[in-house]
Structure 1
Amino acid sequence: MSKLSVGSGGSQRTNAGGTSTAERIAQHSVFERFARAGFVMTGIVHLIIGYLAIRIAVGDGGSADQSGAMAELGAKPGGTIALWVGAAAFGLMALWRLVEAALGSSSKPDADSKKSEAFHRAKAFALAVIYGAFAFSAYGFARGSGKSSSSESVGLTARLMQSTAGTIALIAAAMVIVAVGGYHLYKGGSQKFLDDLQGTPSSFVRRLGTIGYLAKGLAIAAIGVLVVLAATRSEPDKAAGLDGALKILGAQPYGVFLLVVAAAGIIVYGLYAFVMARYAKM
């Protein structure tokens, strides 16, 4: 009996120690403020992307993706300062997710199983990569050297398609993107996103999150499908990221209407990001 207690207690101490470390880092006042600012910047970027998508729908052109949003933000008065703040905020968001990937979540310390824990840590690492890319992009535009993410996606796709191994890797990456989109759809449809929030969310917040996650999921899944098509048809121009997906959508029958609906969904996700900035569990 005593041996069992020692073994179990040792495991609990290890988990508690890891959780305590994660909690101390995530809930440090300065760290938390900047990490929450990352949600604010995420919201701003999505609002601008939605606005750019509407401009594309009415024929004004532009690039409706993160690089287009950051270029648009940088062109406004005070935009460069906002981009520097955004780069720092996104960087700390990435660091927060890396802490979760390494030590586990401080807000969800009790995993149902090892498989569940592995999934949450893998998701945290993926988010760290995404926010790291956002931080790098914001840093580039703040310095005046930002590049179009659409053209970079097309260029990378073209290089990978020059070999069989690269094409296989491209298709595998595309399937991961589709899976991420599917997860957003599941999270929105099941309202699992509510688990990420403190307290009891209002019905308005529930609607924002549901619509936002469904719209974001469809957009991400569409990007993955386009990458698969680009790889299988040897057409790298199709792998133009979110901007390419939205422009292809706009070229379909009733495309203007569909593009405006997609833009509205992206804007709703941006509004929900502001909710996350206030109520997300850290």
Structure 2
Amino acid sequence: MTDDTVSEPGGVAAQRVVDHPVLDVLARVGLVAYGLVHLLIAVLAVRIALGAGGQADKAGALQAVAATGAGRVVLWLVVGGLVALVAERLVQAAFGHRGLPWVPRLRRTAVDLAEAVVYALLAKTAADVAADGGAEPSSTPLPSLLLGQPGGRFLLGAAGLGVVAVAGYAAYRGISGAFRRDLDLRGAGLRRSLLVMRLGRVGWTALGSAYVLSGGLLVIAAVQHDPAQPTGLDAALKGLSRHAVGPAVLIVLAAGLAVFAVYTLFHARHRAG
């Protein structure tokens, strides 16, 4: 939570919900899970860079977890943690930031809602993969479904621009250090605080850079109105690997995503609550 003043009765009730110990624990589990997914994406991206193949996106990373013996149990824990994160972001969007001027408050509320959507989509993907036991999905990808509907290309294009905007803001958070307000580093010591800030700067910037590619492919698919156009992070990374310097860039991106995964562990430990 932030240090905003909450005076309204509804805000006080919401504050109590967000500060509930069970919700806080689940949110920390969700952050660890979020980092684990991106660590697996980093590993899969390295495999693509080395020509070993694989599906380097969130679905592919979750399928890798589900393939293990206890993987499905782990995935359901991931789902629970991510749902808790969604709830915390929504409550924050509804009742948080009350002590700020309306423009910064509107901006932070928009960020809260965008993060809630990201966590919700990942929670749904994790639940689907866990329910299917890690099997390859047989359904038509959502971008292809949208392009088959009247006006679907405009929705897909808007979604792509939204992904680019969120990814750009993620990179901005890394470059500017704006992620600092999500942390409570009191008592962490100077060395650990500096380490966490450095990890956050590198990790958030890498995360934004990776998903800018994904959003760009959605926009291209919408402009070309081609249901067969590959979309998503996996397609972006595989397309990048086919360029001359692509494998080297992929290794750098993978390293950045791995750094982000490590940062999320510190975020879970020092989450502002």
TM-score normalized by structure 1?
0.86
* 3-state secondary structure, aligned to 1:62: coil
Write the distance in 2 (CA, Å) between the matches of 1:49 and 1:13. 39
The match for 1:241 among 232, 240, 247 is 232
Partner of 1:211: 202
Write the distance in 1 (CA, Å) between the matches of 2:7 and 2:88. 18
* 3-state secondary structure, aligned to 2:29: helix
How far is 1:274 from its partner? 0.8
Write the distance in 1 (CA, Å) between the matches of 2:21 and 2:239. 44
The alpha-carbon distance between structure 1 residues 75 and 155, as it changes in their structure 2 partners (threshold 3 A), is closer
Write the distance in 2 (CA, Å) between the matches of 1:56 and 1:144. 25
Unaligned runs of 5+ residues in structure 1 are: 1-11
Partner of 1:127: 115
1:243-263 CA deviation, whole Å, 9 max, x = no partner?
111111111112111111111
Write the distance in 2 (CA, Å) between the matches of 1:165 and 1:78. 43
Partner of 2:180: 194
Write the distance in 2 (CA, Å) between the matches of 1:225 and 1:199. 36
* 3-state secondary structure, aligned to 2:132: coil
Residue 276, structure 1, aligned to residue 267, structure 2: yes
CA contact under 8 A between 1:21 and 1:103: conserved in structure 2? no
The alpha-carbon distance between structure 1 residues 19 and 158, as it changes in their structure 2 partners (threshold 3 A), is same
The alpha-carbon distance between structure 1 residues 164 and 79, as it changes in their structure 2 partners (threshold 3 A), is closer
The alpha-carbon distance between structure 1 residues 163 and 197, as it changes in their structure 2 partners (threshold 3 A), is same
Write the distance in 2 (CA, Å) between the matches of 1:218 and 1:39. 20
Partner of 2:157: 171
Residue 136, structure 1, aligned to residue 124, structure 2: yes
Partner of 1:57: 49
The alpha-carbon distance between structure 1 residues 160 and 27, as it changes in their structure 2 partners (threshold 3 A), is same
How far is 1:239 from its partner? 4.4
How far is 1:39 from its partner? 0.2
Unaligned runs of 5+ residues in structure 2 are: 187-191
Single out whichever of 167-176 and 62-71 deviates more from structure 2: 167-176
Single out whichever of 225-234 and 139-148 deviates more from structure 2: 139-148
How far is 1:24 from its partner? 0.9
CA contact under 8 A between 2:153 and 2:225: conserved in structure 1? no
Structure showing the higher helix proportion among its residues: 1
CA contact under 8 A between 1:67 and 1:148: conserved in structure 2? no
Residue 110, structure 1, aligned to residue 99, structure 2: yes
CA contact under 8 A between 2:45 and 2:251: conserved in structure 1? yes
Partner of 2:189: none
Highest CA radius of gyration, 1 or 2? Answer: 1
Write the distance in 2 (CA, Å) between the matches of 1:13 and 1:54. 46
Residue 74, structure 1, aligned to residue 60, structure 2: no
* 3-state secondary structure, aligned to 1:186: helix
Partner of 2:143: 157
How far is 1:199 from its partner? 2.4
1:187-226 CA deviation, whole Å, 9 max, x = no partner?
1111111121112562211111011011111111111111
The alpha-carbon distance between structure 1 residues 77 and 164, as it changes in their structure 2 partners (threshold 3 A), is closer
1:135-190 CA deviation, whole Å, 9 max, x = no partner?
222222222255768x87x7322333345622122212211111111111111111
Write the distance in 1 (CA, Å) between the matches of 2:212 and 2:125. 22
1:46-92 CA deviation, whole Å, 9 max, x = no partner?
11110111111112111111111111111123212111111111111
Q: Which letter does structure 1 place at the counterpart of 2:201?
A: T
The alpha-carbon distance between structure 1 residues 196 and 182, as it changes in their structure 2 partners (threshold 3 A), is same
- Aligned CA RMSD, in angstroms, stands at 2.3
TM-score normalized by structure 2?
0.89
Residue 230, structure 1, aligned to residue 218, structure 2: no
Single out whichever of 212-221 and 162-171 deviates more from structure 2: 162-171
